[in-house]
């Protein structure tokens, strides 16, 4: 076999092939596909000495990730098929992955090599592959934004029209009763109108907040905040709107100041309380538990409401997503997305623990200082 290789290396034709691919990895394969010779470029491309390739197959140098994702039998058939040209991921000597475009040089096999021998040429295409991946990620992000816009349009066309239509109907009735002395009925209708106005106002605020959060356009001004006092004031506001509901506040550990943007902090707390009240009913209570640890605050908002189906819990932080058991309850599904974005901006974490028909607990871990 060595005699065949020596003869080949002395042939002008083979020198031309190597010269034409001097930056590529050029290998001569025996009939059993083992490598009997490879170009010196293997050092710069893969970090191996040519002698380390001798007697081995290209399959031996496949990256582990590539092996795990491919059917090795099919890959071997494609790799050694006549006229094949495929992309493969090899493992450099330092362990790093490298993408190569591998093809067989048919003219060399027919004119330069003994029977059964073949020549392969591998070109480094790692940069091209990574660029393609980056483009795909960018396309995926663009598609995500497009889908978000579509959801917004769909929701706006349905959710916004409903309360506005109700308002228009009530106004029409009021006009019909304008000359009658029906103050009690007027008050009743005005109350229903106010409820729809509030619903529409909340939807608009959620959408504006979500848009600013996802585009990172929110002014961010963290200041030292007394968190317990902030939570207590938001509980008072929530209690005013739900006088027949009980909201309790527990504090454990020594209270400390938190570095946080006050507007974002109030949005987080008020919306968690609002959701807890919305998705539970009297006489159950809503609990807010603050635990001041060494480096961070742990805040839990718990209710005994409808809960979230297990299979939907991974999706509730998606913009405008609403669980199946919450579709009859007013809301946009935007608030949780905004809350999580605000928590992330403070280097915090947020998770949910919920059981359908038993209740939910939203848990926020908020560092004292944004590192």
- Whether residue 150 lies inside any domain: the answer is yes
Judgement on whether residues 243 and 362 belong to the same structural domain of the protein: yes
pLDDT tens string 235-279: 999 999 899 999 999 999 988 899 999 988 999 999 999 999 999
- How far apart CA 267 and CA 213 sit, in angstroms, is 12
The rounded distance, in Å, linking the Cα atoms of 149 and 299 is 32
Q: Are residues 293 and 160 in the same domain?
A: no
Give the pLDDT score at 8. 47
- In the chain the first and final C-alpha atoms are separated, in Å, by 64
The reply to whether 363 and 229 lie within a common domain is yes
Give yes or no: residues 274 and 296 share one domain. yes
Task: Give pLDDT tens digits for 217-240.
Answer: 567 889 999 999 999 999 999 999
Q: Which residues contact 343 (CB under 8 A, 6 or more apart)?
A: 268, 349, 350, 364, 366
Domain CATH for 322: 3.30.565.10
* Same domain? 210 vs 226: no
The confidence score (pLDDT) of residue 181 equals 53
Closest CA to 273 of 235, 236, 306: 235
Q: What is d(CA 105, CA 124) in angstroms, rounded to the nearest whole number?
A: 16
Mean pLDDT lowest for which of 87-91, 113-117, 171-175?
A: 171-175
In a domain, 64, yes or no: yes
Q: Which domain holds residue 318?
A: 222-367
Residue that terminates a domain, selected from 164, 195, 214: 214
For residues 333 and 287, state if they share a domain. Answer: yes
Supply the CATH number for residue 114's domain: 3.30.450.20
Give the residue, 115 or 187, on which the prediction is more confident: 115
Strand, coil or helix: 44: helix
Residue 301 pLDDT grade (very low, low, confident, very high; cuts 50, 70, 90):
very high
Q: Are 124 and 44 in contact (CB under 8 A)?
A: no
Please check the confidence at residue 304 and state whether its pLDDT lies above 60.
yes
User: Residue 352 falls within a domain, yes or no?
Assistant: yes
Same domain, 282 and 354: yes
Contacts 24+ apart (CB under 8 A), 219-223: 219/261, 220/261, 220/264, 220/345, 221/261, 221/262, 222/259, 222/260, 222/261, 222/346, 222/370, 223/259, 223/260, 223/261, 223/262
133 domain-assigned: no
Q: What does the pLDDT look like over 8-66, one tens digit per residue?
A: 444 434 544 554 546 788 888 888 888 888 888 888 888 998 889 888 888 888 888 87
What is the DSSP-derived secondary structure letter of residue 280? S
Domain boundary among 197, 214, 231: 214
Q: Say yes or no: 58 and 148 in one domain.
A: no
pLDDT category at 284 given cuts 50, 70, 90 is very high
pLDDT (average), residues 129-134: 66
Residue 24 to residue 123: CA distance in whole angstroms = 5
> What one-character-per-residue DSSP string does 190-240 give?
HHHHHHHHHHHHHHHHHHHHHHHHHTT-S---EEEEEHHHHHHHHHHHHHH
The pLDDT of residue 99 is above 60: yes
* Domain termination residue (choose one: 214, 244, 272): 214
Q: Both 23 and 150 in a single domain?
A: no
Count of structural domains, the chain: 3
What does the pLDDT read at residue 151? 66
State the pLDDT at residue 319.
80
Contact status, residue 25 vs residue 122, Cβ threshold 8 Å: yes
Same structural domain for residues 184 and 261? no
- Is 134 within a domain? no
Q: Do residues 241 and 164 both lie within one domain?
A: no
How confident is the prediction for the chain on average, in pLDDT?
79
CATH number reported for the structural domain that contains residue 210 in this entry: 1.10.287
User: Does 14 reside within a domain?
Assistant: yes
Question: Taking residues 147-166, what's their average pLDDT?
Answer: 61
Domain assignment present for 129: no
* Any domain includes 132: no
Asked if residue 168 and residue 118 are part of one domain, the reply reads no
What's the pLDDT at 38? 84
Give the pLDDT of residue 246: 94
pLDDT computed for residue 327 by the predictor: 83
Q: How far is CA 253 from the centre of its chain?
A: 35
Taking only the tens place, the pLDDT of each residue in 193-226 is 767 766 676 666 666 666 666 656 567 889 999 9
Are 304 and 315 in contact, with CB atoms under 8 Å apart?
no
């Amino acid at each position: 076999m060595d005699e065949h290789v020596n003869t080949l290396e002395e042939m002008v034709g083979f020198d031309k092939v190597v010269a034409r691919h001097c930056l590529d990895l050029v290998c001569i394969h025996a009939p059993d596909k083992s490598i009997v010779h490879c170009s010196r470029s293997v050092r710069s491309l893969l970090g191996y000495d040519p002698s380390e390739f001798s007697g081995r197959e290209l399959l031996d140098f496949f990256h582990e990730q590539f092996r795990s994702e491919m059917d090795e039998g099919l890959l071997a058939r494609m790799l050694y098929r006549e006229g094949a040209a495929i992309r493969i991921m090899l493992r450099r000597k330092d362990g790093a992955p490298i993408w190569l475009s591998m093809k067989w040089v048919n003219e060399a096999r027919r004119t330069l090599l003994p029977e059964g021998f073949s020549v392969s040429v591998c070109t480094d295409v790692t940069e091209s592959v990574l660029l393609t991946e980056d483009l795909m990620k960018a396309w995926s992000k663009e598609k995500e934004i497009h889908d978000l816009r579509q959801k917004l349009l769909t929701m706006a066309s349905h959710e916004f029209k409903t309360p506005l239509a109700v308002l228009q109907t009530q106004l029409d009735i009021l006009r019909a009763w304008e000359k009658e002395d029906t103050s009690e009925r007027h008050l009743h209708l005005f109350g229903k109108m106010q409820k729809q106005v509030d619903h529409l106002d909340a939807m608009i605020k959620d959408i504006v907040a979500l848009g600013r959060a996802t585009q990172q356009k929110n002014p961010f001004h963290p200041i030292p905040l007394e968190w317990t006092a902030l939570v207590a004031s938001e509980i008072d506001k929530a209690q005013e709107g739900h006088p027949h509901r009980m909201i309790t506040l527990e504090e454990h550990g020594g209270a400390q100041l938190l570095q946080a943007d006050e507007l974002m902090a109030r949005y987080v707390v008020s919306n968690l309380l609002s959701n807890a009240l919305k998705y539970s009913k009297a006489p159950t209570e809503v609990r807010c538990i603050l635990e001041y640890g060494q480096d961070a605050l742990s805040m839990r908002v718990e209710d005994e409401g409808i809960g979230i189906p297990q299979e939907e819990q991974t999706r509730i932080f998606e913009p405008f997503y609403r669980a199946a058991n919450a579709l009859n309850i007013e809301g946009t599904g935007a608030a949780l997305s905004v809350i999580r974005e605000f928590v992330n901006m403070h280097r915090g974490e947020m998770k949910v623990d919920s059981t359908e028909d038993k209740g939910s607990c939203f848990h926020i871990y908020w560092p004292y200082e944004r590192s």
